[in-house]
Amino acid sequence: MSVDKATVAKIASLARIRMDDAALEQMVPELNGILQWVEQLGEVDVTGIEPMAAVIPNTLRLREDVVDADPLTGGGKRDDVLANAPAAEHGFFGVPKVIE
Amino acid sequence: MTDLTSLGVKDIRDGVAKGDFTAREVAEAFNAAVAGAAALNAFIVTTPDHALAAADKVDAARAAGEPLGKMAGVPIGMKDLFATHGVQTTAASHILEGFTPRYESTVSQKLWDAGAGMLGKLNLDQFAMGSSNETSYFGNVASPWRKAGSNQPMSPGGSSGGSSSAVAARIAPAATGTDTGGSIRQPAAFTGICGIKPTYGRCSRWGIVAFASSLDQAGPMARSVEDCAIMLGAMAGFDPKDATSLQMDVPDWEAALNADLRGKKVGIPREYRMEGTDQAILDSWEQGKAWLKDAGAEIVDVSLPHTKYALPAYYIVAPAEASSNLARYDGVRYGLRDLPDGPNGKGGGLQDMYAATRAAGFGDEVKRRILIGTYVLSAGFYDAYYTQAQKVRALVARDFARAFEECDVILAPTTPTASFPLGSMNEDPLTMYLNDVFAVPASLAGLPAMSVPATINADGLPLGLQLVGRPFDEQGVLNAGLAIQSRAGFTAKPEKWW
């Protein structure tokens, strides 16, 4: 499979990365080079093989059902959470207008 | 007095404990070495005060007769992928420039608790995506090594290139690295130092800027196997804040180091004999076999039939996870915000802000991988690419499981070539990817793997050998590494030009 400029523009839009025409033109052959190279995975017989999401067997733990079990992530950290925000206002994240 | 910057982790820790010198003297010596090595561009920010404060604490504890930690008095470099409280953490990206965490990563906290101090935050490939340290927003890192008779700047490898450069140049006795598809082992090999990626889950990922979460693992980079064992012991351990953290005890790797390999079998994977591998690398591999045989091991041939598919599978799985992980950089909660004007001269909307912020904040390689990841996860392509890659990953892991029925540890080259000049591999992203061909399979299988320096090639550049072990068998990897280290007698170091 290969991608054309319109497809790359669509992907870039899905990924929320603004790209002008020149950037798209440059990206098309680069992505196609990579995609053509990964095509070889199609040769592999994967009959009966389960896709692997986790390499080392592990179980998901449940934390204790108490408020603020971990004080670092339990809440009450508004100032810390907002400390690096580019536009924090009145204790909230500031964003551009989203409703006309 | 000995030049303190020539010492490694063990010698510093023991010297401080014995009173041969103070932790403060060590910190001052390395702070000065860091300040004098700006030409390497190994550090994004330096933190001499952090190193001094940690040293003073150790000296005071020693004076008071208190027990000292595993890394007491050792100042280290911290890859700028670890969140450090109050110290800028960028992942070498523009989008996180100025980001100052209000929390400390688990691994860095454990190192400070063990008595280590921080010399500064080390440069890397942007978001750990790269194999040459040429994708950093803060400029390339130069290796302290140069080809014999040449002034050309060489790559320190990547993504932990600031770490490898600093440790090889002796401006830091050790540094943290992270390895997603070779980012500890390949730079270690390029610069003649040691580096180990432990079993996936040994080191907490909490507070490490995420690249590909099913692959990312932290590990130490230092100049000896012993130093790696000590530092890994300080970094590893269960952390409830990381859902994939291994809930098991951390062995005392340092105490159990043993280079006697009698009764052990070393597997040589035949599929690693690949076209395009330097003859000098193949020769060093043969030499490595002889060293391990001399240490008492039996050498056996093993097969890892899906080796050639590991790298393409990695370049689907890792970008897919990256595209998801990096969705968090949105210009809202932290980092860069670029808010362009919309049509009619009015301010742009939220979507414009996202797209402009990410366009300005990510470098080319990061964008490339986000786009690949977005594509392989998109409707209609998910099964053909992503599910297929995950199945191939399962086969790569199964290959290793079968090989480890016949051997205890695997010996292979770390890289197909020695270091290359900066700027020489930028034509095609694929040629750069291929440098990780020997490193990626162990990453996909989550196995402990280490690079140790073996020899010097005809250009005077170091070559590394790689050891891969069973899950949780860091000890087996370290022991085989020690057997190589004690026979290789690798004492070469770069001549100071910086």
pLDDT value of residue A68: 80
pLDDT value of residue B306: 97
Is B145 in contact with B456 (CB distance < 8 Å)?
Answer: no
Confidence of residue A98 (pLDDT cuts 50, 70, 90): confident
Least confident range of A86-95, B337-346, B423-432:
B337-346
Contact A46 B351 (CB under 8 A): no
pLDDT value of residue B223: 98
Is B364 in contact with A13 (CB distance < 8 Å)?
Answer: no
Is-catalytic flag, B6?
no
Q: Name which of B89, B319, B323, B318 is nearest B207 in CA terms.
A: B89
Contact A86 B336 (CB under 8 A): yes
Q: B127 and chain A: CB distance < 8 Å anywhere?
A: no
Q: B309 and chain A: CB distance < 8 Å anywhere?
A: yes
Judged on CB neighbours under 10 Å (0-12, 13-18, 19+), B110 is buried
Percent of chain B with pLDDT over 70: 99
CB nearest A44 (choices: B99, B359, B395): B395
In chain A, positions 53-72, which contact chain B (CB-CB < 8 Å)?
A: 53-56, 58, 60-61, 63, 70, 72
Mean per-residue pLDDT of chain B: 96
pLDDT value of residue A55: 87
CB atoms within 10 A of CB B24: 19
| pLDDT tens readout for residues B72-94 | 999 999 999 999 999 999 999 99
pLDDT value of residue B293: 98
| pLDDT tens readout for residues B408-440 | 999 999 999 999 999 998 877 888 888 999 999
| Dist CA B34 CA B167 (whole Å) | 11
Is-catalytic flag, B79?
yes
Comparing alpha-carbon positions, the chain A residue that sits nearest to B337 is A86
Confidence of residue A63 (pLDDT cuts 50, 70, 90): confident
Confidence of residue B343 (pLDDT cuts 50, 70, 90): low
Q: B387 and chain A: CB distance < 8 Å anywhere?
A: yes
pLDDT value of residue B454: 98
Q: Name which of B129, B68, B23 is nearest B429 in CA terms.
A: B129
Is-catalytic flag, B214?
no
- Mean pLDDT value across residues B197-202: 98
Find chain A residues with C-beta within 8 A of B444's C-beta: 55
Is B215 in contact with B200 (CB distance < 8 Å)?
Answer: yes
Q: A37 and chain B: CB distance < 8 Å anywhere?
A: yes
Q: Report the predicted TM-score, pTM, of the whole model to 2 decimal places.
A: 0.97
Contact B241 A73 (CB under 8 A): yes
| Dist CA B217 CA B439 (whole Å) | 13
Contact A86 B395 (CB under 8 A): no
Contact A83 B100 (CB under 8 A): yes
How far lies B208's CA from each of B90, B107, B344, in Å?
11, 9, 42
- Mean pLDDT value across residues B191-198: 98
Find chain A residues with C-beta within 8 A of B306's C-beta: 44
Question: Does residue B53 have a pLDDT over 60?
Answer: yes
Query: Which residues neighbour B11 within 8 Å (Cβ) at sequence distance 6 or greater?
Result: none
Question: Does residue B348 have a pLDDT over 90?
Answer: no
Residue B478, SS3? helix
pLDDT value of residue A66: 87
ipTM: 0.95
pLDDT value of residue A73: 72
Provide the shortest C-alpha distance from residue B287 to chain A (in Å).
Answer: 32
pLDDT value of residue A54: 84
Find chain A residues with C-beta within 8 A of B397's C-beta: 52, 55
Judged on CB neighbours under 10 Å (0-12, 13-18, 19+), B341 is exposed
| pLDDT tens readout for residues B133-144 | 999 999 999 999
Contact B102 A80 (CB under 8 A): yes
Question: Does residue B113 have a pLDDT over 90?
Answer: yes
Contact B430 A37 (CB under 8 A): yes
Question: Does residue A70 have a pLDDT over 80?
Answer: no
| pLDDT tens readout for residues B474-484 | 999 999 999 99
CB nearest B316 (choices: A16, A19, A38): A38
| Dist CA B191 CA B168 (whole Å) | 6
| pLDDT tens readout for residues A3-25 | 999 999 999 999 999 999 999 99
Question: Does residue B215 have a pLDDT over 90?
Answer: yes
Q: Is the dihedral of CA B395, B397, B401, B403 positive or negative?
A: positive
| pLDDT tens readout for residues B244-290 | 999 999 999 999 999 999 999 999 999 999 887 889 999 999 999 99
Contact A55 B103 (CB under 8 A): no
Contact B332 A8 (CB under 8 A): no
Contact B244 A13 (CB under 8 A): no
pLDDT value of residue B430: 84
pLDDT value of residue B375: 97
Question: Does residue B298 have a pLDDT over 90?
Answer: yes
In chain A, positions 7-26, which contact chain B (CB-CB < 8 Å)?
A: 7-8, 11-19
Q: B209 and chain A: CB distance < 8 Å anywhere?
A: no
Q: What is the DSSP letter of B98?
A: T
Q: A6 and chain B: CB distance < 8 Å anywhere?
A: no
Establish, for the pair of chains A and B, how many residue pairs have beta carbons separated by less than 8 Å. 177
Mean per-residue pLDDT of chain A: 91
Question: Does residue B345 have a pLDDT over 70?
Answer: no
